[in-house]
Amino acid sequence: MRAGNTGLAAVVVSCAAWGPCEAVDPEAAHVPAPAATVVVTTFEDGGPRLVVLDLATGRSAPLPGMAEDGRFCRPSFSSDGSRMVFHGVRGQGGNVPSDCGFAGGRSDIFLASVGPHAVEDVSALTDGGCNTDAAISPDGGAVVYACARTPCDAETQADLCLLRLQDGTTSLLVTSADSERAPAWSQDGRRVAFTRGRGDAADIWIVEIPRPGELPPPPEPITGDGGGDGAEDCSPAFTPAGDLVFVSDRFGNDDVVVLRGSDIDQPDRDDLVMPLAAPDGTVRRDPVAIDAQTVAFASSRGTGFDLCVASLADVAAAPRCYPMPGDQVSPALLPRRASGLRVELSWDEIGDLDLHLVRSVAARWFDRRNDCHFGAGVTSWDAPGAADDPVLDADDIWHVGPESITVAAPVAGRTYRVGVHHFSWSGRRVATVRVFCGDVFAVPTATFERTLSARGGRGRQDFWVVADVNWLGADSCSVSPIGMVLTEDGARRGDLTSRRPVSRRRSGRR
């Protein structure tokens, strides 16, 4: 693509790390921050990293559960968020260049389950060759990806392969003398848009997904003349409304553009493409639909990239941008799968620490009716049914956690208090507590850290009263630090807090 001017315009204001960045005229009306979460592939320290970014708050955290022994890129999620596919290599020896397109000679497609709190059960779907750009169908039943038997390099010619997960069959979906890449499913799972081209000429095409056992129909060009018209249209994505967004240099720069769903079948559709507003002088790439009215995309800012959010309802509205680390960015929408309250505990050295959660009516810690902990992993609280009851998801006594407690449907107006007990009778450990409100898979609302000690044995171990979580309703909360340290005996006697801390160490960070 034509790079154009990669410097930001003079009206750019400074941006705090991971906070909303106004990369356009600060007096303009910016696109509101959407209540959505994306997983962003960033490149820093020599390799790709998958980062969860909460667009409503700007908070971020590593995607939980991803193995440290792999280099993985560009995830795609089923519409319910339960399944995830991505490409890359296992083992630190893999080499994924900054564009995430090739992996040092090979790249495989991987499938993973997305559990309540982390990615689980990562398995390879391919073995050898150059397999990239995986996209999973909305129902999670099939994967389309760019496939080539030859090793990955800049000249690799890829076709599109279709893998049906139910029976494991793989078939060729699209092939040509050019290269097919960047497949994207329609919301109904019936069509896939993709990029076809070579060099600086490329167009957007669409192919219908065949029924099992049938041959795929010939694909149809959506932009250009189907043979490359000198412009480059690439990286398509469907919106829930059926609109098609993609990157195009037809307006003199690499713009994110939209073709309305009602215009896709029009003979003059090439003339109906509209560019979205973007920071001046930047290069855009990898759009993804957040909802029917909002799209996110990567936008260069000289030596790095921002993640920007633009409006499809008002294509002239100034986008909202978030500064990202590294020298490349590629977003994917993470569907919101869960709500409620989750508290997570981990620590730095092998031993046994225990997480506690009490409701506001509790008279003391270790009360089995009102304190959810290892001795009462599931308790019945408040209304009939289990939705508002706490559940201890895991109790770790041999490693470094994590332990977590989840309340699927907290009671509005209820205050929950978080505690940590240094159960081991010897040693000291640095404990970290993370509080998640709303989408419990997303980034934490608050994080606290403190060094705890056994202090000479049973009954004298530290018991850290961490914070109060006030549930506000509508998947939101406020977190108030407490930071008091009791002894175990004091906690059992009924001290939910302490008149003074055992030590004056700082209680943590938020």
Question: What does the H/E/C string look like for 47-87?
Answer: EEEEEEEECCCCCEEECCCCCCCEEEEEEEECCCCCEEEEE
Distance CA 77, CA 318 (A): 28
Strand partners, 76: 85
* pLDDT value, residue 201: 84
* Check whether domain 341-493 has CATH 1.20.140.150, yes or no: no
Q: How far is CA 41 from CA 38, 86, 110, 235, in A?
A: 10, 11, 15, 15
pLDDT score, position 204: 95
Tokens of 76: 């795609």
Looking at domain 37-334, its CATH class is mainly beta
Both structure tokens of 476: 């939101």
Write out the two tokens for 493.
Answer: 């006697």
Q: What is the pLDDT of residue 448?
A: 96
- Nearest by Cα to 47 from 332, 330, 326, 333: 326
Q: What is the pTM of this model?
A: 0.76
- The whole-angstrom distance between residue 337's C-alpha and the CA centroid of its chain comes to 12
User: In the sheet where 403-407 sits, what is the strand order?
Assistant: 390-394, 403-407, 341-347, 428-437, 446-453
Which whole-number Å values give the CA distances from 17 to 52, 139, 306, 424, in the listed order?
14, 35, 11, 38
Residue 493 is given by DSSP the state H
Q: If you ran DSSP here, which 8-state letter would residue 109 be given?
A: E
> Would you give per-residue pLDDT tens digits along the chain (510 residues)?
333 322 222 222 223 333 333 333 334 457 888 888 899 988 776 677 888 888 887 888 888 877 666 778 899 999 988 899 999 887 654 444 445 655 456 789 999 998 767 788 889 999 888 899 999 999 999 999 999 888 787 677 899 999 999 999 999 999 999 999 999 999 999 999 999 987 678 999 999 999 998 999 999 999 986 554 567 899 999 999 999 999 998 888 889 999 999 999 888 888 899 999 877 666 788 999 999 999 999 988 766 788 999 999 988 888 998 888 776 788 999 887 667 899 999 999 998 999 999 987 777 899 888 999 998 767 788 777 778 899 888 788 888 878 989 898 899 999 999 999 999 888 899 999 999 888 766 778 899 999 999 887 777 899 999 999 999 987 789 999 999 999 999 898 887 654 333 333 333 333
DSSP secondary structure string for all residues of 112-177: EEE-SSSEEEEEES--SSEEEEEEE-TTSSEEEEEEESSPPSTT---EEEEEETTTTEEEEEE--S
Q: Which two tokens stand for residue 389?
A: 């009851």
As a whole number of angstroms, the distance between CA 160 and CA 50 comes to: 25
Residue 438 confidence (pLDDT)? 80
Residue ranges of domains in the chain: 37-334, 341-493
Q: Fold identical between 37-334 and 341-493?
A: no
Cβ(281)–Cβ(5) below 8 Å: yes
Q: Alpha-carbon distance 296 to 455, whole Å?
A: 51
